[in-house]
Homo-oligomer: A and B are copies of this chain.
Amino acid sequence: MAAEKSNGRTPTIKDVAKAAGVSQATVSYVLNNLNKVSPGVDAHVRRVARELGYSRNRAARALKTGRNNVIGCIMPSLLSPVFPEIAQAVQQRAEEHGFATFVIDSGMQTPAREAEAIRVLAEHGADGAIAVLGSPRTASDRPTLPLVVIDQPMDGMDGVYADHRGGGRLLAEYAIGLGHRRVGLLSGLQSLYSSRERREGFVDTALGRLDIVWEVEVPLTPNLPEAAVGALLRRDVTLIVCVNDLIAMVVLSALRQARIRVPEDVSVMGFDDMQWSGWPLLNLTTVRQPLGQLGRDAVDLLVRRLDAPDAEIANIVLPVSLVERGST
């Protein structure tokens, strides 16, 4: 063993080259798996590199290639239970592709914060990002970064989202099948694609077969506006349909407080099938959307885009399914 460069510094490609008795270029070629070098040399270089504990300097190669192998993951909130589930999947899949992931909490859907998040990502060298966007407006500031949008189609960008409309339909059909007639509807902000679709799927199917006695549009944060609470307590429906599980959770809370029993006095349905919806405390009948799959598909789409910037825009729609539980 001739040249152990065990001085403090972490070894560079130059050290490896010297130790292996070849040029830097050869080492580079080997380590990038371009099959440009003869098998013998290849093996030798690899061995030496391993022996020295060499690993390529990210900053240098990023500087040279313009690629950082880092993607961003912009979520409206990490405190809600559903986004972390997506973020986790994104991170794992990205890792498989050799990308690291920046998770950023954009602070619940203010367009300014979302634009800011994108800026921060770009500034920190992210190659692209996956985002759950709260506002359609953000589209106008066409970002400097390749973006894959989750939960809604957005023209000019790749997207992955669940079949919200189909989910709404499922809810309505299930309710009808159960013999409900008078229902209340807590729909999400209709400026959001997903909320709109869910609502329309439900309403269209319900038409003529369910009476929507009241409907209140609520923000997707975990507290109900006055109007919604009032409606809940009127007790003039046998079923309350919520735009998502988080809202359903708040509804269950409110009902509990008012000592209205579920499902004896009134039934409740949600949408998402978030992690806790299955627990006895909630036990929520809901529509399951494949959260992990959303994240994984988004990552795949993004790396495809990075490799081929001019590929045609893709939109993936994932199927949903009804999960029957005790709240109905």
Contact = CB atoms under 8 A, between A and B. Distances in A.
Contacts of A279: 222, 249-250, 253
A24 to B, nearest CB: 16
A79 interface: yes
A175 B40 CA distance: 73
A327 interface: no
Contacts of A95: 120
Interface in A122-136: 123-125
Given A63-B59, A275-B79, A281-B256, A105 B88 contact: yes
A87 interface: yes
A193 interface: no
Interface in A210-265: 222, 249-250, 252-254, 256-257
A81 interface: yes
Interface string A49-63: 000000101111011
A282 B250 CA distance: 11
Contacts of A103: 87, 91, 101-103
B84 A78 contact: yes
A59 B55 contact: no
Contacts of A256: 280-281
B102 A100 contact: yes
A54 to B, nearest CB: 12
A120 B102 contact: no
Interface residues of A, number: 44
Contacts of A85: 78-79
B104 A69 contact: no
A306 interface: no
A134 B134 CA distance: 34
A125 to B, nearest CB: 4
A267 B123 CA distance: 51
Contacts of A281: 249, 252-253, 256, 281-282
A70 interface: yes
Interface of A: 55, 57-60, 62-63, 68-70, 78-79, 81, 84-85, 87-88, 91, 95, 100-105, 120-121, 123-125, 222, 249-250, 252-254, 256-257, 275-276, 279-282
21 contacts: A55-B123, A57-B63, A58-B62, A58-B124, A59-B59, A59-B62, A59-B68, A59-B125, A60-B63, A63-B63, A78-B78, A78-B84, A79-B275, A81-B81, A100-B120, A100-B121, A102-B103, A222-B279, A249-B281, A252-B281, A253-B280
